[in-house]
Structure formats: C-alpha cells, structure tokens
Amino acid sequence: MRKIKTILVLILLINAVTNLQAQKTVKEYLESRNEAYIKIKYNSENDIEIIKNIVYLDNYKSKEKANEIYAYINQNQYNDLLKTNFEFEVQTPPSMVKAVDMCVDNNAVENWNCYPTYDQYVYLMNKFAADYPEICSLHEIGNSVENRKVLALKISDNVELHEEEPAFFYTSTMHGDEVVGYILMLRLTSYLLSNYETDDRIKELINKNEIWINPLANPDGTYASGNSTVNDATRTNANSFDLNRNFPDPVDGEYPNGTRQPETQDMMSFMQTNKFSLSANFHGGAEVVNYPWDTWSKRHADDLWYQNISAQYADTVHDNSSGYMTGFVDGITNGNDWYWINGGRQDYVNYYLHSRETTIELSQTKMPAASELNNYWNYNYRSFLNYIAALNTGVKGKTTDIDGNPIKAKVYIQTDSDSSEVYSEAENGMFYRLLNPGNYNFIFKTSGYLQKEFTDIYVYSGNQTELNVQFDQIGNDPDPDPDTNPEYSNKLVSFQNPFIENIQFEIELAEDAEIQISIYNISGKKVLETDSKLYFSGPNSFTINTQSLFSGFYVCIFKSVNFSFKLKLVKV
C-alpha cells in the first residue's frame, strides 16, 4: 500500500512539474506572439463542452488518438484555463515547425513555388488589375488592425458594371497560419485571367458570373512577424481574436466571442453589399469539405444539396490525387458532426445573408513546404472551377411589377427553414436559388402585391431553369409580407422572459435599421441603455447583459427612426 501511495505521489508531482513547465512556455509564447498552441487532455464529452468555451478549438481527436484537444489560446483564455484542472502541453505552433521559402522578388511569385512577402502580394494584386483591366478590378474590403489592406479582385466580362448575373466569392486564410488557400487563390486568379481568351469554359464562367476572390482575409496574422515573411504566422488577428469565431451566430447572437473585429465588420459589410449566391472559405489543418451547420446539430434545409456539391468537389479531387482528402465521409463532413463552433463565417453567411457557403480545408499541414504547393494546385484546381460552375444551376429569374420594374421579393419552397429562403435584388429583381435536380413548388411574396405560386418547376442536372415572375395586381394585400416591406418587416420574433442575468432577443428586419434599446423600471426611470447600433436586414440575434438589474418588472423599448417595440419583462 505504501508503494502504491508513493507511486501516486510521484505521478502527481510529475504532472504538476509538467504543467508548470508548460505554463512557463505558454507564457513565453504569449509574450512573444500573443498566442500559444496547446494540447489538452480530456476524459468525457462534458469536458469538451467546458474546454471549447474557453479556448479557440482547432481540432480534437477522440478516435485516431484518444482524448486530445488541440487549441489556440490568448492571454485571457490562458487565465481561464488555469482556473480549471485540465492538463495541457504546449505545442510548437504550426507556422514554426519548419521555415518555408519566401519569394526573392516580384517575378518569382508567379512561379508558385515560394511564399510572397506582403509587399509582393499587394504588387501582384495590383498587377492582375493592371494587366487585365477589361475583366479584372481591384477592391479594398477594408484595413486590418495594423492597417494592412484586405483586398479582393472582381473578375467579370463587364467588370465595372453590376450586371444581372449571380455573384460568387472565394476567400482564404482568415486563420493567418493556414496559407495553402492563400497561394492557390492567387494562382487561380492568374489561371482565370490568362486563359480567358483561349479557354471556352473559362470565358463562359467569367461572362456569366461576377467572380470575386479574396486570397488573404487576415494579413496581420499571416505576416505577424513582419511583412517579409509568413514564418511564425498566427491564427488570430493582431488583437488575438480568432476571426472565424467573431461573426454573428444563429444561437449565440451578435457577439458570440467578444468585441467584433474590424476585419470581421468589413467582411460583413462587403458580403452584404455584393449579395453572393455561392461562396467558399478556405482553411488548413485538415483535408475535407465542411458544410453547414457548425453551431447546432440540426440539418440545413438544403442538406442534400450541400452533400452533393461537397461530394462533387471531393470526388474531383480524388480523380486527380492519391490518398488526398479521403478522411471523414469520403472527404466531406457536416460541420457540427465534426466539432461545434460558434461565431463562424459559414453559419453567418447561410443564416443572416440567405446565401450558401462551405468551408474547405485544403491541407493537413497548415504551412507546408513551398515546394509542395504545386501538388495542392494539381489536386484542387479542377474542383475550384466546378464549384464556380455550380452557380449556374438550379433556378434563376427576375421579379417585376406589371410595368417591368424590379421588385425585391421573398423566394421560397415549402421545405425552407432557418433562413434558407432567398431574396431577389431590389436593384434588378434577379434571384438565384441553387437546388438539386427535381420538381419544386415555388412561392413568391412581396408586400403590396398578391402572392404568386408556381408548381412542378423542374430543375435539370447541370442546367439552370429560368422562372420570371410578374406581380400583376397591386392593392391592399390582406397578408402583407414582413420580409419585403419596412412597414411590416420589423418584427420581434422571440425573446427570453422571464430572464435571469441576460435577455436574448431575435428581430427580423427587411431593411437596415439603426436601433437603440432602453430598459425602464416600473417607476419609469431608465435603468439601462445600449448604444445606437446598425442592424442589417434579415434575422438579428443579440443578448443584453442585465446583471446590474434587480429582480422585478421592467419595460424594454426598441427604437428606430421608422419603428419601435415595447415589451414588458420580468427579472427573477
């Protein structure tokens, strides 16, 4: 018995020393790069639930390698982790495992066998627009925390116009140390532009669509060690925020993980303006096509469509590689089946923007040797093109009044749920609904006009069905549509009542609105007020912290220029 006790004490001492050593190393990483990479031991699913609310979960392995979570942490998360009893080990950050080759000059970049400096990247983006001005233009999405430019290129046959064409978006490297997509998006841009005049398929893709490409969404993370190298890149931005945990979330509201970062807000505004019908967001650390949802376990209304477009991408990769992207379910996975995240961009796009987006993980190694980049290009470039071509399937059409003027309308089928419906554009009346082959019944609604219904609209494989809709009777609609008319659109969908510490609300808007929220006690005294904030059309979920309020009855008022809500609430 004494021996057993001695052994147990030794084990406890070893664990304590190991954790102290890890803590020291974590501190060193946090001091030098504001971020550390760790491995955490867990024992149960409940442990995962606790850990994932503390750290930036990167991956966890319960099948291949028992009970290990890999995660990034900043200083605040490290402080929270120390309050728990979880054992953790510091890991070498992925961008520091092995130094990669940087391009020696501007000319070397387009050999695609080295990583560009930040200045070379900016030079190349400008060069694309200068060399192909008729089909390519350069745009600034915004500036990073450290004032680097977040850039995007638009590629289209009439590049200065917003035509009656669907908009497509490829974006990469919002995690700064996941750089394969960064290089491949630069190479895809070059491929599209240089082959426009000679390749009929490329010409068709560019002539029929507005293609936008943002190769680098987090320049501060990628160039955390300075503009001359991607070595020692960080996952997070310069404020140590994971940008893929920073978007409004269907479950956790407007600010799921703290302050919204400038890169996030700029990206939200950019996507709201351009109304992309289809997009993909490139990451690294695995090899898989990840489709919605991430934040909850229920399936997207178009789950089968998502499985098909994801499988098409992976299957094309399999035809052009060996042993690549073969894990999960033949290279695809539902996000929540893999692991839960909140504040992800994919769910924001699908829920708040009524669009379609997947997250594509391109490489197990986040920062592979530059000599391997050509392999990843050969594995993926055909899938890149096929994914863009999927934009020209399903159903498209135009919604107008009897005089042919465009109208914004809600376009949906009976199986739609969780914001899977789409909307036609107010500027030109065009809508695009991506669907699997089959028969569908469509419903069109817009306030002030009678509802239109169409049955047995057939969608053919690989083709696009056209369905133009004219709202031919104007009058007092007995059932005005709250999604297309501001007078009726601003409605409170749900709220938590009675409440304890926080109140959760959901408001649906059909147009952007500046809203201020005030709470009054039963004596009419204002006891809490939020800053006036711009909310965007569609569902808006958010949380008000009411820890400062005593138990009792309150009145909450939502106020905007055009409308207001008044609610009676009880704190228990």
pLDDT band at 4 (very low <50, low <70, confident <90, very high): very low
Name residue 153's beta-bridge partners.
Answer: 138, 213
- The answer to whether 399 and 469 have CB atoms below 8 angstroms apart is yes
Average pLDDT over residues 212-223: 98
Q: Which of 327, 320, 420 has its CA nearest to residue 376?
A: 320
Pairing of strands 502-509, 491-495: antiparallel
Burial (Cβ within 10 Å: 0-12, 13-18, ≥19) of residue 125: buried
Does residue 484 surpass a pLDDT of 80? no
Instruction: Map tokens 């147990």 to a residue.
Output: 8
**Separation of alpha carbons 190 and 286, rounded Å:** 26
Does residue 14 surpass a pLDDT of 50? no
441, 536: one domain: no
Q: Look at residue 101 and tell me if it is in a domain.
A: no
- The answer to whether 494 and 505 have CB atoms below 8 angstroms apart is yes
Average pLDDT over residues 298-327: 97
442, 499: one domain: no
Instruction: Map tokens 């490409």 to a residue.
Output: 213
pTM: 0.81
- What pLDDT, on a 0 to 100 scale, did the predictor assign at position 480? 47
Residue ending a domain, among 328, 360, 392, is 392
Q: Look at residue 278 and tell me if it is in a domain.
A: yes
Residue ending a domain, among 363, 392, 421, is 392
Lowest mean pLDDT: which of 2-11, 68-77, 329-338?
2-11
Lowest mean pLDDT: which of 20-24, 156-160, 235-239, 312-316?
20-24
Average pLDDT over residues 333-338: 95
Sheet strands (E) in 186-331: 210-214, 278-283, 286-291
Q: What is the DSSP letter of 406?
A: B
Does residue 329 surpass a pLDDT of 60? yes
436, 343: one domain: no
132, 244: one domain: yes
- What pLDDT, on a 0 to 100 scale, did the predictor assign at position 388? 98
Kindly list the distances between the CA atom of residue 275 and the CA atoms of 135, 192, 254, 425, in Å, as whole numbers in the listed order: 20, 22, 20, 8
- What pLDDT, on a 0 to 100 scale, did the predictor assign at position 257? 85
- What pLDDT, on a 0 to 100 scale, did the predictor assign at position 533? 76
430, 540: one domain: no
Kindly list the distances between the CA atom of residue 324 and the CA atoms of 59, 62, 330, 386, 551, in Å, as whole numbers in the listed order: 19, 21, 10, 18, 58
**Separation of alpha carbons 294 and 161, rounded Å:** 35
Assign residue 294 the CATH number of its domain.
Answer: 3.40.630.10
pLDDT band at 280 (very low <50, low <70, confident <90, very high): very high
List all residues 6 or more positions away from 382 whose beta carbon is below 8 Å from its beta carbon.
Answer: 316, 319, 320
Q: Look at residue 427 and tell me if it is in a domain.
A: yes
Q: Look at residue 106 and tell me if it is in a domain.
A: no
**Separation of alpha carbons 36 and 57, rounded Å:** 12
412, 356: one domain: no
252, 299: one domain: yes
3-state secondary structure 414-433: CCCCCCCCEECCCCCCEEEE
**Separation of alpha carbons 536 and 563, rounded Å:** 15
- The answer to whether 48 and 336 have CB atoms below 8 angstroms apart is no
Kindly list the distances between the CA atom of residue 139 and the CA atoms of 126, 144, 152, 176, 501, in Å, as whole numbers in the listed order: 10, 15, 5, 20, 43
**Separation of alpha carbons 9 and 7, rounded Å:** 5
User: In what helix (H) or strand (E) does residue 521 lie, and over which residues does it extend?
Assistant: strand 513-521
Q: Look at residue 352 and tell me if it is in a domain.
A: yes
Kindly list the distances between the CA atom of residue 125 and the CA atoms of 145, 189, 214, 322, 351, in Å, as whole numbers in the listed order: 20, 9, 10, 32, 31
Does residue 504 surpass a pLDDT of 90? no
* Phi then psi dihedrals of residue 138, to 5 deg: -100, 135
308, 385: one domain: yes
Instruction: Map tokens 């008044």 to a residue.
Output: 566
Q: Number of folded domains in the chain?
A: 4
**Separation of alpha carbons 281 and 393, rounded Å:** 20
| pLDDT tens readout for residues 346-366 | 999 999 999 999 999 999 999
- What tokens does 500 get? 């304890």
Q: What angle do CA 321, 326, 329 make, to 5 degrees?
A: 145
Q: Which of 358, 360, 292 has its CA nearest to residue 325?
A: 360
Helix (H, G, I), strand (E, B) or coil at 329: strand
Does residue 1 surpass a pLDDT of 60? no
Q: Which residues are catalytic?
A: 361
259, 141: one domain: yes
Pairing of strands 88-91, 36-41: antiparallel
Provide the Cα torsion 390, 391, 392, 394; round to 10°.
Answer: 80
- What pLDDT, on a 0 to 100 scale, did the predictor assign at position 291? 98
| pLDDT tens readout for residues 403-459 | 999 999 999 998 999 999 999 999 999 999 999 999 999 999 988 888 999 999 999
Average pLDDT over all residues of the chain: 89
Q: Look at residue 115 and tell me if it is in a domain.
A: no
List all residues 6 or more positions away from 208 whose beta carbon is below 8 Å from its beta carbon.
Answer: 165, 392
- What pLDDT, on a 0 to 100 scale, did the predictor assign at position 477? 44
413, 491: one domain: no
Q: Provide the residue range defining the domain that includes 236.
A: 121-392
